[in-house]
Structure 1
Amino acid sequence: MKKFFSAVLAVIMVLALVACGSNQASSAASASTPASDSPASSASSAEVKVEPITVRISAGPSGGNNFLICAAFADQMMKTFPEYTISAEISNGTAQNIRATAENEAQMCVAMSDGAMYAYEAGREYTDLEAGQFAYVAGGYQTIIHFMVPANSSVESIYDLKGSKIAASQGTTCQYYLPIVLEAYGMTTDDVEVTQLQLADMMNALSDGTVDAAMHITSYPLAAISDVAATKGIKILNIVDKEAEYIHENYPFFSPMIIAGGSYQGISEDVQTIGTLNTLICRSDLSEEFVYNFVKTIMENNDTLKNVHPKCGDFNLDNTLTGAVIPIHPGAEKYYKEAGIL
């Protein structure tokens, strides 16, 4: 009987050793199997779980550059982060964008650099807002001052315009930008006769000689300007040297910029002038994680986005900080430091 039990015990021990060896072999095989072969690891390493959030971007008129750009950004973000709900919202421009963001109807918006600065400081037309409630996200495409005279005009410099009739486009350009430019040339609006007109009417007035000069700020080329350049001919006056330096030092949202020669018929050489950027700003309390992911996504998908809309391509690492005239949001700052531009 003892021999029988000894034999049974021996068999059990052998079976246990075989099972143990099999498990060890299985573990070793699993460890040596590439991670990509495992169903659990088949998900893209780019997929990162994020906190769901809804963000509205107050952009601009439907069909306009800013609306289309923001819509492209929103679409790319939601493809990359399905947890996010982002929308581009229709507006009539910077002032409405800023006020919508201040009231939390939007959490991010497009603003010209000067609008961003004065909104942050609660200055100029934003004295009723609380200061410090905005932060900088990214800078995009240029909007450049076009100070124009007829091609056959004897005027060669803004200095020559004292006593002249000047038309400026309605709103910020006439109310704020024209006085800044005149100031750099030792003049005020009292030294000229100013007419505030819509763009089409202003270009007609320049074309038919009702005014001596016209000023507008825009990206280029602009069809309304191109039409007059082709039919009547124009000169675009330079804003350069000490005058441009004066403007930048006293109004830092303006920087030297160039209208490339050939952009308008009859203007073969580069025009040196000044301009500002269309920027993205946000509420200072917007999620740091979201802003980091937003900036990273639009910067690292630049080639894809500019195929959707060419101006999306101007939101890039080369110029994104040019319009940073208010504090940079911590989420954006984190990415810019990683990218080596801060």
Structure 2
Amino acid sequence: MKKRLATVTALALTAMMAFTGCGGGNEAAESGAENASENPAGSAVELTLGTGGTTGTYYAVGGTMSTVLNNVMENVSLKVVSTGASKANILDIDDKVSDIAIVQNDVMYYAYNGTDLFAEDGAITSFSAVAGVYNETCQIIAAPGISSIADLKGKTVNVGDAGSGVEFNATQILAAYGIDINKDITKVNGSFGDAADSIKDGKIDAAFITAGAPTTAVVDLAISKDINLLAIDDEHADALIADYPFYTKTVIPGATYACVPDDVQTLSVRATLIVDNELSDDTVYELTKALFENKDALASSNAKFAELDPNAAVQGISVPFHPGAEKYFKEIGVLS
């Protein structure tokens, strides 16, 4: 295991978190996680849950999990900490700083295989999957006059922050359409807000945004300017899924954004719960069971949990499940 610097300021959540922001997987860390510990004998095992920045979706989702599940689990409790989101969360689990975390499933794929975002770090296999929780949708926003991904050749396109998961999504999707991100477009890096403002001002032609839909920056843009959402057709979607098993097909419903009346097919990655491999089977089983059996309470506090579904939870998972989670899914017939 490589030596890495982990910040240690922890922010515990003790009250219900409101749902704020989009694209928690790209939030910068307000602070890192601190080491998890066990409570005295006879009480619940306390697990440190790595999330994202304090204004992001992951932090809010983690807060809801802590508030709801700590009231129903007998042997497990969750302590939520703010982190640098997906990549930082995987490194923190590998460094035994966190026990459990929320990550994008494409980022965990890169970690497990030592590619892309983890090409320099090398493969990290000290974690395993619990469940996919909700979709983070690949939204390709374009100015009027651009109606397909193929039309992006020669255009100026925001592909997310440099080195981000969004940029890798953009690279893969464009390549499926025969477009080299470094040669065939004018590539611009920047945040979702930057992308929306630049489309509005006519500075760029399109942008890739990987986040739960609706995304606030796009909602605001669509109110003030006509935009198109570019579809990924079945042929290209199937090819991408074959090459990158973390993708799943997704439909953005019509009227999600003011000027897009029709459904649009695209791909999603999944915000996924992962755990340290060394957690006991009983601990992870109790956590997984509590998560799905308390969906209504979770969803009433945070709309992201409305997407929680056991069948969807095992889709796009390209790393091994923890045996405790696998036991639960086999019990309910989702895994054989």
Shift of 1:293: 0.2
Contact 1:174 1:196 in 2 (8 A): no
* Amino acid of the structure 1 residue aligned with 2:157: I
> d(CA) in 2 for partners of 1:304 and 1:69?
13
> d(CA) in 2 for partners of 1:93 and 1:197?
17
Deviations 1:228-256 (A, max 9, x none): 11111100011112111111110111111
Deviations 1:87-109 (A, max 9, x none): 11101211111111110100111
Q: Which residue of 2 aligns with 1:114?
A: 106
> d(CA) in 1 for partners of 2:168 and 2:118?
14
Q: Which residue of 2 aligns with 1:60?
A: 52
Task: Pick the structure with greater CA Rg.
Answer: 1
Selected match of 1:292 from 285, 290, 300: 285
Q: Which residue of 2 aligns with 1:187?
A: 179
Q: Are positions 1:150 and 2:143 aligned together?
A: yes
Q: Which residue of 2 aligns with 1:162?
A: 153
Deviations 1:13-67 (A, max 9, x none): xxxxxxxxxxxxxxxxxxxxxxxxxxxxxxxxxxxx9874221010111142211
Deviations 1:115-146 (A, max 9, x none): 11122223323243554211110111111111
Superposition pairs of residues 83-94 of structure 1, within 5 angstroms: 83-94=75-86
Q: Which residue of 1 aligns with 2:17?
A: none
Q: Are positions 1:202 and 2:205 aligned together?
A: no
Q: Are positions 1:235 and 2:228 aligned together?
A: yes
DSSP 3-state at the match of 2:310: coil
Contact 2:141 2:207 in 1 (8 A): yes
* Amino acid of the structure 1 residue aligned with 2:243: N
TM-score, scaled relative to structure 2 = 0.82
> d(CA) in 1 for partners of 2:244 and 2:52?
24
Contact 1:147 1:214 in 2 (8 A): yes
Superposition pairs of residues 1-342 of structure 1, within 5 angstroms: 52-127=44-119, 128-129=121-122, 131-151=124-144, 153=145, 155-171=146-162, 172-173=164-165, 175-189=167-181, 190-342=183-335
> d(CA) in 1 for partners of 2:221 and 2:306?
28
Shift of 1:173: 4.5
* Amino acid of the structure 1 residue aligned with 2:51: A
Which stretches of structure 1, 4 residues or longer, exceed 4 Å deviation after superposition?
none
The answer for unaligned runs of 5 or more in structure 1 is: 1-48
Deviations 1:181-209 (A, max 9, x none): 11100121211110101222211111121
DSSP 3-state at the match of 1:307: helix
Shift of 1:313: 2.8
Contact 1:173 1:216 in 2 (8 A): no
> d(CA) in 2 for partners of 1:299 and 1:50?
25
Contact 1:50 1:81 in 2 (8 A): no
Contact 2:53 2:59 in 1 (8 A): yes
DSSP 3-state at the match of 1:292: helix
Deviations 1:290-322 (A, max 9, x none): 100000001001111111211123232131111
* Amino acid of the structure 1 residue aligned with 2:98: A
Contact 1:119 1:134 in 2 (8 A): no
> d(CA) in 2 for partners of 1:307 and 1:61?
22
DSSP 3-state at the match of 1:80: coil
> d(CA) in 1 for partners of 2:42 and 2:290?
14
DSSP 3-state at the match of 2:309: coil
> d(CA) in 2 for partners of 1:81 and 1:198?
38
DSSP 3-state at the match of 2:88: helix
> d(CA) in 1 for partners of 2:285 and 2:333?
15
* Amino acid of the structure 1 residue aligned with 2:207: A
